[in-house]
Structures are given as structure tokens and as C-alpha cells.
Amino acid sequence: MTPNPGPLSNRFLAAAINMTSTSDEEANWNSARSLIEKAASHGARFIVTPECTNYLGPHPRKVELAETLEGTTCQRFSDLAARLRLHLLLGSFNEKSHETDRCYNTSVLFGPDGAILGTYRKLHLFDVDLSPEVRFFESATCRPGKEISCIETALGTIGLTICYDLRFPELYRRLLDLGAQLLCVPSAFTMATGKDHWHVLLRARAIETQCWLIAAGQCGEHDDEGLRHSYGHSVIIDPWGVVRAELGEEPGIALAEVDLAAVQRVRDGLPMTQHRRLGVDIV
């Protein structure tokens, strides 16, 4: 399957994927590949998979299985991007760090030739104790990244974030300052937090940055010793904050046409960036 991507333009079809990853890495790969191929068959030229695409099981095991950017997981997604001739964001995988008991939670963006265009290591780690159902300390097995990632591509300028980052608007403001036109939020939001916060936060980030936003989510039950049920609801949101495509709580693909010219139209009509009052003490 090698769809013709056609000429590059400000318009392209994008896809956000819902999937239910577990500790079975081979099953996760087959599920992701099948959904990516399905999206590509519809003409998608940019596809985003969820956080923890390759593994969402017991977390100490995640560290043991961590790979480098040259490992099997990245090679598989690189080959798939090249075969389908599209931009592909591996929402995140467990990347080996120099620590023996912690890995990185890393997004990897591949170009249509399979080359890595950029990476992002999750900055904000999900350390919470909200209830017996939502008690998790990501920092026990993950090391935080140290760099913001805003990547210029043939499709446009893409800002990368992951899941819990969504609650920190200063990160998205920085991505806007770096020229982002499209923001990605691969996630594994819990059911408890997702039902109340997912749409509100995503639409807010799109509205305040006046960017397109693609959020691909894990959905359903996992075998991960804690966050056993993810909310799903992968969405694509335009720069005005309107949801252009959305899934429910089952695996699948959300498709929408992204028109990057809409970013400038919204910013020209509502020039928020020009109205910022930096350096002013507000009392």
C-alpha cells in the first residue's frame, strides 16, 4: 500500500488514533500498524498515535524493555512512514535513559522518507494521588525531559507535547512563540480525569494558541497495575476551538482536513499575540 500523497499544500488530511495498548508489544504493533494503514488508505498525510503506543503494562517492566531511537520500535514506525509516504508521530514509546530504573516517555516524528524529524521527551510527569482509582507516580519509572520541541516540516510547524503536559499552558505559549501552527497531544488520560477535563483543556489550548490541535488517546482497559481504563476520545480541533473530528472509547481513527491557512486567518481577526501585556505587573 503506497498512496500517492499529492503535492504539498496548506491543506492535508490528518488522523488521530484511538488504541488500547497492553503489555503485549507485538499485538500493540499490529494494532497500530493496521490503524495507520487504514488512515493512510483514506488519504491521511499526517497520523498521530497515542502515548505509550508500543507498551502499556506493568511499569517496572516498561523500563526493562526500554529501547533506543535505533531500536525495533522506532525502526518499525520509520519503515511504515516511508512505505506509506506520510508524516507519522509515534505518540510515545519507552526510550532507554542512562538510569537503570527509569526511562524517558518519548514522542518521535517521522517524515515521509522514514527519517526522524524530531523527538520530544515528556516534561511534566503524572504524579497524582486523587483517589484509589487515580493514584500514580510516573516519576518512579520515567525521567523527565529537559527540552521543548517545535519542529518545522513540509506540512507546517508542529509543536510536540504529551498527555499531562496539557495542564501547563505556559508550555503551549512557548510553542506558540516558537512558531507552532499545529500542536500534538498523544495521551493516555484516565477515565476519571478525562470525562471532566479532556475536552475543556484541549479546546482551551487550541483557542489560546490559535493552533490546530491533534490529540490521540489510549482507550479501554489495560494491564498496567494502576491506570487500567483510559478515556479515549481522540480529537482534532481547529484554531477557533471547534472539534472537527472525535472518536469515542473504542479503537479507531478520527479524520479531519487541516487547513493551516486558517491559523493565520484566526490570528489576523483576533490578534491576541499583539495584545499581550508582557512586563506589566497586574495587581
- Gap between the Cα atoms of 81 and 91, Å rounded: 14
Answer whether residue 3 is part of any domain: no
pLDDT at 67 over 80: yes
Active site residue 122: yes
Q: What average pLDDT does this structure show over 89-101?
A: 97
Domain that holds residue 101: 11-275
- Gap between the Cα atoms of 186 and 166, Å rounded: 10
Q: Which residue among 67, 74, 95, 122 is the active-site one?
A: 122
**pLDDT confidence tier of residue 133, bands split at 50, 70 and 90:** low
Q: What is the pLDDT of residue 74?
A: 98
The residue among 173, 157, 177 whose CA lies nearest residue 205 is: 173
pLDDT at 40 over 80: yes
Query: H/E element holding 180?
Result: none
pLDDT at 280 over 50: yes
Q: What average pLDDT does this structure show over 38-67?
A: 96
- pTM of the entire structure? 0.93
**pLDDT confidence tier of residue 150, bands split at 50, 70 and 90:** very high
Answer whether residue 5 is part of any domain: no
Q: What is the CATH number of the domain that holds 74?
A: 3.60.110.10
Q: Which residue among 51, 67, 95, 138 is the active-site one?
A: 51
**pLDDT confidence tier of residue 138, bands split at 50, 70 and 90:** very high
**pLDDT one-digit tens code per residue, 241-254:** 999 999 999 999 99
Q: What is the pLDDT of residue 282?
A: 61
Cell representation of residue 160: 510536540
- Contact criterion met (CB below 8 Å) for 13 and 42: yes
Q: What is the pLDDT of residue 283?
A: 60
Longest dimension (CA), the chain: 60
- Gap between the Cα atoms of 166 and 184, Å rounded: 10
Answer whether residue 128 is part of any domain: yes
Q: Which residue among 163, 184, 211, 219 is the active-site one?
A: 163
The letter for the amino acid at 62 is K
The residue among 23, 55, 49 whose CA lies nearest residue 34 is: 49
Answer whether residue 135 is part of any domain: yes
Answer whether residue 283 is part of any domain: no
Q: What average pLDDT does this structure show over 32-49?
A: 98
**pLDDT confidence tier of residue 225, bands split at 50, 70 and 90:** low
**pLDDT confidence tier of residue 170, bands split at 50, 70 and 90:** very high
- Contact criterion met (CB below 8 Å) for 172 and 209: yes
Q: What average pLDDT does this structure show over 9-15?
A: 89
C-alpha gyration radius of the chain? 18
Percent of the chain with pLDDT over 90: 85
Answer whether residue 125 is part of any domain: yes
**Number of domains forming the structure of the chain:** 1
Answer whether residue 201 is part of any domain: yes
- Separation in Å, CA 90 to CA 69, 122, 240, 279: 11, 13, 26, 38
pLDDT at 2 over 70: no
Answer whether residue 268 is part of any domain: yes
How does the average pLDDT of the chain come out, rounded? Answer: 93
Q: What is the pLDDT of residue 109?
A: 98
